[in-house]
Amino acid sequence: DIQMTQSPSSLSASVGDRVTITCRASQTISRSLSWYQQTPGKAPKLLISGASNLQSGVPSRFSGGGSGTDFTLTISSLQPEDFTTYYCQQGYNTPLTFGGGTKVEI
Amino acid sequence: QVQLQESGPGLVQPSETLSLTCSLSGGSMRSYYWSWIRQPPGKGLEWIGYVYHNGATSINPSLKSRVTLSVDTSKNQFSLRLNSVTAADTAVYYCARAEYILGETRYFFDFWGQGTLVTVPS
């Protein structure tokens, strides 16, 4: 199985800050990396697929990068609704696997 | 707009079988991978497996001996059966649509159900 390691597991930030979350794969996954946002009590929402492809309707302050084993999710200017949990997911091989999550707190 | 809705019992006794169904509206089952993902309370996400519209399946090896996935395209539904459950199987179970794009992108989950909590008492 491909292990996905997110860091940090949590971070504290303020409205307007720029934050970056990192996801590392245990083996190369090309650009088969997606990012999801999950608010409490809700299903995850797809933000980015293919490492950097922003989904329709997702604000442009979100961006993704990386390839191979190292990936990033950047939020350029945190908004109040962004304080929640983010997960990465590799789609390169089954079993499909997720990172452990990063909680972004005020 | 694609919508997914899970249904099934919220309480399953130890050693029994958990059965959930996901109903699709607003889209076709063709060419997508219909998935189950679970999340224990306060923890991360675990992919259980997917069933393709033609009935082909891929199941997480960690659960393979206990999981059966099936699809009924005439009803726009797909189902999960997990047998011999224990308290460790207590989780919110999500159904989701996975899209596969040949090349670098491959699998990702673009539509999710709201999730259903299934509790297995200890």
Average pLDDT score over residue span A88-97:
97
Percent of chain B whose predicted confidence (pLDDT) is above 70: 100
CA–CA distance, B115 with A41 (Å, rounded to integer): 9
* ∠ CA A24-A80-A72, rounded to 5°: 15
How many interchain CB pairs under 8 A, A with B? Answer: 73
Mean pLDDT computed over A74-86? 97
- Which chain B residues are within 8 Å of A98, Cβ to Cβ? 44-47
Closest by CA position to B82, among listed B67, B61, B62: B67
Whether A92 and B105 lie within 8 Å, measured CB to CB:
no
Mean pLDDT, residues B53-67: 96
CA distances from B119 to B16, B47, B86 (A): 12, 18, 9
Least confident of A49-53, B21-25, B76-80, B101-105: B101-105
| B16 in A contact zone (CB under 8 Å) | no
What pLDDT score does B96 carry? Answer: 98
